[in-house]
Amino acid sequence: MSSINVNTIKSRLGGPPTLPSGVVVSAAATFSSDVSIGGTLTYEDVTNIDSVGLITARNGIKIGAAGIGGTIAANGNTTLAGVVTATSFSGDGSSLTGLANTDFINATQLNVIGFTTVKSLNQFDYLAAKGAAAGGATGIAATVSIGVTVAPKSAANRYYLQGSANGYYLEGEEAPFYNLTPGRTYRFNQNDSTNDNHPIILYFEADKATEYTSNVVYYADGVKSTAAAYNSAFNAASVRYTEIEISDTTPNVLHYQCYNHGLMGNAAQFNSGVLVQTGIATAQGGLEVGAAGVGGTISSGGNVIFAGITTVGTALSLADNVSAKFGTGGDLIIQHNGTDSYIDNNQGDLYVQTTGSGDDVFVQPADALYLQSGGANTRLLVNGVGSFTFDNGTLIEKCKITAGKLSDNTNIDLLDGMVHYFTTQETTTSTPNIRESGSRTLGDAMNTGDIITVNVVTTAAAGGYSANLTIDGNAVTEEWVGGAAPSAGGASGLDIYVYTIIRIGSGTGDSGFKVIANVTNATN
């Protein structure tokens, strides 16, 4: 083969040089300007296309063999035969079509517009019972037939590695926690041969300690029987099912388990009105509990009406200026306005009372206690140190009137009053015993430094008088006004004994009390 060695090939007058047989370049070639190719540019043994700018493929890009790799068409349609892996996708997804089945969707929130068909709910806590209308009927039937098969347990089974190695599959779901609707009847259809030796029985507990029998029947080839008889006839029967009618008295939870083996099933909840919600549940139209007027409602406006008893576990919290109202027309209102608290009674009397024997009422202000009437007029003030202030009111004290003699009724109980009047004329001497009551001593009622005044009025007689006194049954030494104790009673009228008692210590008798006594006779 001949060769020509030249340094430069220049353009001819009519344009660039024409090489009719083509050009073969056996070494590297460098082009300093554009290269225009009218036909096909063929690369052999090219691993990469290294471009510093854009690569424009006017008719698309083909990757690998047709049907194995993929194509990017000139209009932007992309077809890939393998797996597409990406960190993220952009766009709203409104044009996505033909999405195939997926094992699960992991999302914080799932918004669905229109109908959603879910074939498997294994990841859900509760599964609404699905099945076919018994007898082939269409629509929502009163009796629902649930197809049952038996197969080995998977690791997802609630009782995996417990009890039997096999488990029930209800309508294809492995041992679901079923939610059954009151007012319907459910059949656990066990016609499939995998159920042999595994009749379903309903129990109160998963360990089958107690069988549940109310509204439950067992059928083997049309013969209704007990659980034991059903088990005996089970394998020989071709039509076999457990049937339960759900009513308002059905226990909240029962367990469907095998008569012969342990922990093949799960639990069933018989209350379709129960909402199981781990987050916030939004009921846009309100919430109704039970029948109208029997349970209660929470309206969309926030009004709450309950027909029964409402129990609050820890505390009932009301914000400032929010009232708790009692009575049809808000007869009693309790409120805190951010500064002060109010109990506002607008109808009838207000009672603060105890009904049990020995039950006290304590009012414990940190500073003063005000009793007001006629608006803001203070009628009684008890200050922080226990002093009383009365304003423009009548002070009425209680008097105990006894139709008898002091000598026959010597116990002076101060809970009955601080003044005791005996209407029957005295005939002999007597020693009054002063106490708070028959169940509490005066020593317990008084603190050191306390003082009280007790008046005892007797119907006078010369031979009837009181020269001595006891407190809580213990003798005390009286300090008599005038220097001497009485030695006789008045000839007529009333003898009035006034005892001023000072608590001087914690003891009894003279170690606990100082008594100043005085007697005066009053006649017509």
User: Both 295 and 312 in a single domain?
Assistant: yes
Token pair of 482 as six digits: 């005038």
Residue 199 belongs to a domain? yes
Residues 451 and 518 in one domain: yes
Our separate counts of H helices and E strands in the chain read 2, 35
Give the chain's domain count: 4
Strands 296-298 and 287-289, by their bridges, are antiparallel
Instruction: Please state whether beta strands 296-298 and 304-306 pair in parallel, antiparallel, or not at all (unpaired).
Output: antiparallel
Q: In CATH, what number is assigned to the domain containing residue 176?
A: 2.60.40
Counting every residue, how long is the chain? 524
| Model pLDDT, residue 378 | 79
Q: Are residues 221 and 261 in the same domain?
A: yes
- Residue 135 has what pLDDT? 56
Q: Residue 33 domain-assigned?
A: no
Please indicate, yes or no, whether residues 483 and 442 belong to a single structural domain of this protein. Answer: yes
- Mean pLDDT by runs of 10 across the 524 residues of the chain is 71 70 71 72 64 74 75 81 77 64 51 52 46 52 85 92 94 86 87 95 93 93 92 94 88 91 88 51 68 73 81 86 86 91 89 86 86 76 77 82 96 96 96 96 95 96 95 96 94 96 96 97 91
Same domain for 157 and 263?
Answer: yes
* DSSP conformational letter for 12: B
d(CA 512, CA 397): 26
Residue 114: what pLDDT?
Answer: 55
Query: Phi/psi of residue 410, each to 5°?
Result: -80, -20
171 lies in the same domain as 186: yes
Same domain, 265 and 134: yes
Domain identity same for 209 and 265: yes
The pLDDT, as a whole number, for residue 425 is: 95
Does residue 119 fall inside a structural domain? no
Of 380, 396, 412, the residue that ends a domain is: 396
| String of DSSP letters for 226-266 | -HHHHHHHHTT-SSEEEEEE--TTS-SEEEEEESSSSS-SE
| Residue 178 in domain | yes
Give the pLDDT confidence score for residue 143 in this predicted structure. 83
Residue 108 is predicted with a pLDDT of: 46
pTM above 0.85? no
Last residue of a domain, one of 381, 396, 411: 396
In a domain, 230, yes or no: yes
Whole-number Å distance between alpha carbons of 116 and 401:
87
Of 205, 239, 269, which residue sits at a domain end? 269
Handedness of CA 259, 263, 267, 268 (dihedral sign): negative
157 shares a domain with 142: yes
- Same domain for 203 and 300? no
Name the strand (E) or helix (H) holding 520: strand 513-522
Q: Are 427 and 462 in contact (CB under 8 A)?
A: no
**Helix residue ranges, H only, 138-242:** 227-234
In a domain, 70, yes or no: no
Q: Is residue 58 part of a domain?
A: no
Is the domain of 503 the same as that of 385?
no
Domain that holds residue 217: 127-269
Residues 215 and 260 in one domain: yes
Residue 514 inside a domain? The answer is yes
